[in-house]
Every structure is written in C-alpha cells, then in structure tokens.
A and B are shown apart, each in its own frame.
Chain A
Amino acid sequence: MGLTITEKILRDHCQNKKAVAGDFIMPKVDKCLANDITAPIAIEVFENVIEGSGVGVFDPSKIILIPDHFTPNKDVASAIQCKILRDFSSKYNIINYFEVGRGGIEHCLVPEQGLVKPGEVFIGADSHTCTYGALGAFSIGVGSTDLGVAMALGKCWLKIPESIKFVYSGRLNKWVSGKDLILYTIGKIGVDGATYKAMEFAGDAIKVLPMADRFTMCNMAIEAGGKCGIIEPDEITKSYLDSFKNLNDGFYCSDKDAEYSDIIDFECANIEPQIALPHSPDNVKSISEVHNMKIELDQVVIGSCTNGRLVDLKNVAEILNNHKINKKLRCIIIPGTQNIYLKAMKSGYIESFINAGAIVSTPTCGPCLGGHMGVLAEGEKALSTTNRNFQGRMGHITSEIYLSSPIVAAASAIKGYITSPEYL
C-alpha cells in the first residue's frame, strides 16, 4: 500500500520509519509559531520546562513570534501581553519577531517572508496554521503548552492522521474563487466532517488554482475539524517560491495507491459563489439563493488570514471601481501585511477604497475575533471574508456574521445587502 503526502512528510521527521496513519509519533518540528494571545502562555510553559536545566530554546532561528491579534495594542492588558513576546525575543535572540509596523497577520506574513517550505513540519499556536499546507508542508495548529514544549525540545507529539482526498474537477464558474470551493466543501461535510483527518485537495481545478486561493482553502480546513489541509506542490508552487532562496525543494506527493479514509469528488460547474450564514461555517448556501433573501448589512469586513492577500484587494478594487459604498453600511478593508498594504497603495487600490467610502486599517486580526477595529453592536449584521461566523465572534452576542469571498463582499458593500457582482 502506498503512502499519502502527509504520511511521507511525518515519517521523514520521526524515528519510526514504518509509521503510518494512526501511529503516535514525536516528530522534529521545523518551525514554531505563536501570536500575542498564545505566546505568553507558551513562554511561561517554556520557562517552566527548562527551569534549572541550563538549556535555552532549541533553535532561535526556527521560532516565529507575531503579535497580530490585539495589535497595535488595543489596551493596557494587550500591551502587557505583547511586551512578553518582545522581551522573550530579545532574551533568546529570536530574529523572526515581527514588531508592529514590520509585520502583519501571521498566516499572510509567514509565507510572504519565506518562513515556510514544502515538506516541513510546521506547528503554530493558532488554529489557522493549517494555511501552509497550500505549499505542501505538514502544518497544524496546536496549543500553547505544545508550543512551549516544542520551543524547548524541538519536537511535538502527534498522531499521524488519516487523509480524506477532495477532488475538484472542471473549471471554476465566473466570480468563483478558492473561498467558494472551501465554503462549499465545509457545507457538504459539516464542521466536524474531517475531525482528526488531513484534508488533501486535488483534481484538475486545483492544479490551475493560484497560490492565494490555495492558502484560503487550506486556511479553512480547521473549519471542517481537519488537522491540516494539504496540496501537493507543483509548477504553481514552484513559481511562487522562485523568488526565495533555498525554498524550492522538499516536494512530496502522495502515491497513486495511497490509502484514504474517503475520496470525495466535486464538479466545479455546480459551484456558485457561496455564503456561510450565521452561526456556523457549514451553514452554507449559494449566492443565487441568498441574493433573493435580501439580507441587509451594517458592516462589511474584507481582510484576515483567509482573504487579506494582494489579489483579494485587487479583486475588490476592480469591483468598487466608480462605485460608492452603500450609505447604510460601513466597509472595513484590512491588508494582511505591511508589504501587501504598500503594494496595494502603489497599485492605487487603497485610493479607490477611500474614494468609495471604505476605511482602510493597518494590518491586524482586529474585527475577525471581535477584538477591535470594527466590533458589532447588538443585532448588527456583517458580511466578512474571514473564516469563522460563530455567535458573538465579531462583537455582541446577538450580532450576526455571514462569510463570503472578497468579490461577493465588495459587491454587497455597494448594494447594501448580500449579492454578487453578477447583479451589479
């Protein structure tokens, strides 16, 4: 029996050269990531583990710390949390600490900075660390204790997951993106449809899917309960990595006779733009149906680790072109990183956002988790390009979040209710 890409990567990172899905292993980790919410606890765990041993972090170049959730510091308490990261980084020479103004949202920033490579085992104390599976890395979210221990040992316990293969065939319809494919998938299998499993995305539609869309798809694997999302690296991966030194190898692929717990086929011709309705990412409907519901909005949020990349902003700028944001709502646009922000500025996107009447924020998670920069009041409705629409996540417990692609979000910001560019 052959092996999946996931089994191969993990086998090459542990001592058990016969390990297969279901086995518990303690693989070496190539990178460890944490943010301003998870790092303070991880750092406390780390200091506790090494106390009295005389050892330091396993490798300062493999630790990445990104304050992005409540930054720029939202209040005194969050300032204290961020200071813990800053102090730890200077104490242990962590070069990959990204200060406010030189960073951005972690899962946009890490690939942009060339900090993840195909074939790596990457762990992050953030559930959306699964994003980097788009580059063919085994990349998973873990907890703070896992991360604190990994910073000391350079290892992390895990069970090799079984894989589900999702095969997307045919061409994408107009206005359909990676976000719609993943929302459609979660709608079909449910929020626990892939619990404990690796979600391997394949098929001829994936073979031509741009990197940004691949990041979006893998980013939301956790929303189906998946341990990770993963895509075999190919020519598109290769050209994305070309601008970095030393990243363009470590390409693994699944054997033809690899064992999957399930293989699920989707025909792209059947997939329209998708919307997840409150309060769950699997409560998904097609845009034609939601358009008829005329769901009026108070806020539109475009950004996040799911959809805050340059091409997302480009798509939004093209749709907003010569239109105004609807008077009844506010539209908040958040570039994922400082680099994306700058490129969007040079390309004129930021100017068109401001001309249309949107606000542009500095890179931050902000409203995605109801932190700041756009928290919702009682009963308000928001359409967001983020990844979770749990009850109360963006603010008041009676507020509602709908999820969509940036294209749909931009068209809806113009119309004032949820719609697609087709109806503009």
Chain B
Amino acid sequence: MIGKVIKYNLKNINTDLIIPARYLINSDEQFLAAHCMEDLDRDFVEKVKKENFQILVTDSNFGCGSSREQAPSAIKASGIACIIAPSFARIFFRNAINIGLPIIEFPEIERIRTGDILNIQFEEGIIKNTSNDEEFQIKKQSDFLQQIISAGGLINFARKQIK
C-alpha cells in the first residue's frame, strides 16, 4: 500500500483516548469513526479526511487499556489503513489482526514524519519512505498470523473451518 502519514509522538495512547466509553452505547462503525481520537486530538477525523492520511504512526504501547474492538474498528472506519508503532498492547494487537487492519511493529519511528508518503510492501517486509528515499526493513508476521491476515481477518478464517 502507499499512503500518507499522520504521526503522534506519544506513548501509551489508550483505548479511552481512541474511542471514549461514552460512545460505546452504539456499535455502528461510522458513528464510532466520527468520534475517533477526539479526546487526544479534536480534529483527528477531519484531518484524516481532508489530508487523506492513511497511515497512523505513534510511539510504543499503542491501544493499551480496554478490550474494546471498537478502538481498531473506529480507526479503520475513519480512513486509516495501517498503524505503525514500536509496540502495541496485546488485545489491541489481536483485535487489529482479527478485523483485518494491518499493524506494523517498528521501533525507529523517529525516521517517519507527518506528511511522509510511505510505500509499504508487506510481502517483502519493506517500507520505502518516498519523501526522502529511505528504506526500512520490517518484521514479517508469523506464518500463523499471516494465514488470518491473508484470509482478510478472523471471520473469513473461521468460516473456512466451519464448512
């Protein structure tokens, strides 16, 4: 995928910041997306739309806190198609894999800035920063997780097992 970066230099962005509990009374994705990250950055949703940001980059332990799948769902529905961080909280990690939102564990986030255009080649494990021609190696997901990702998420993976 090729996409433009929006970056927050913050550690431990928790699920209450990603989607506050007050909105969990409704599971509609578009409703959730409209409030995505609003307690962290009021203008997040508008910026993502206007600037066509597709890649969210943050510091470590992204998505800590609650198990709410509404967190990755809201991010995905807001238009973000990939998240890059040095590490993810574990339930957020599995939720993202399960709903088919690609996430990349990459430690050197200081090499990426807001506005950069990244070309991410998941199969090869390479990110090319087309803004300055830098190239980074990324860790590929394990074969097991790759099966879920290739199926397009856990639902499709499970449907195959049931038939």
Q: Assess the B26–A392 pair: CB atoms within 8 A.
A: no
**B58: Cβ under 8 A from any A Cβ:** no
Contact of A152 among B61, B98, B99, B162 (CB under 8 A): B162
Chain A-chain B contacts (Cβ-Cβ < 8 Å), number: 134
How far does the Cβ of B31 sit from chain A's closest Cβ, in whole Å? 10
Q: Assess the B144–A41 pair: CB atoms within 8 A.
A: no
**A209: Cβ under 8 A from any B Cβ:** no
A148: nearest chain-B partner, CB-CB: B155
Contact of B69 among A124, A145, A158, A388 (CB under 8 A): A145
Given A50-B162, A143-B95, A369-B21, CB of A45 within 8 Å of CB of B12: no
**B34: Cβ under 8 A from any A Cβ:** no
Q: Assess the B98–A146 pair: CB atoms within 8 A.
A: yes
Given A24-B144, A127-B65, CB of A195 within 8 Å of CB of B87: yes
Contact digits for B126-162, partner A, Cβ 8 Å, 1 yes 0 no: 0000000000000000101100100001110011011
Contact digits for B4-26, partner A, Cβ 8 Å, 1 yes 0 no: 00000001101011001110111
Q: Assess the A77–B66 pair: CB atoms within 8 A.
A: no
**A191: Cβ under 8 A from any B Cβ:** yes
**A37: Cβ under 8 A from any B Cβ:** yes
Given A49-B159, A144-B69, A392-B16, CB of A225 within 8 Å of CB of B89: yes
**B27: Cβ under 8 A from any A Cβ:** yes
For A, the interface residue count at a CB cutoff of 8 angstroms equals: 54
Interface of B with A (CB < 8 Å)?
Answer: 11-12, 14, 16-17, 20-22, 24-27, 39, 60-61, 64-70, 87, 89-91, 94-95, 98-99, 142, 144-145, 148, 153-155, 158-159, 161-163
Interface of A with B (CB < 8 Å)?
Answer: 24, 37-38, 40-41, 44-45, 48-51, 53, 55, 69-70, 74-75, 77-78, 81, 124-127, 129, 141-146, 148-149, 152-153, 157-158, 191-192, 195-196, 222, 225, 227, 280, 369-371, 388, 390-393, 397
Sample of 9 A–B contacts (CB below 8 Å): A38-B67, A40-B27, A127-B65, A144-B95, A152-B158, A157-B144, A222-B91, A370-B21, A393-B16
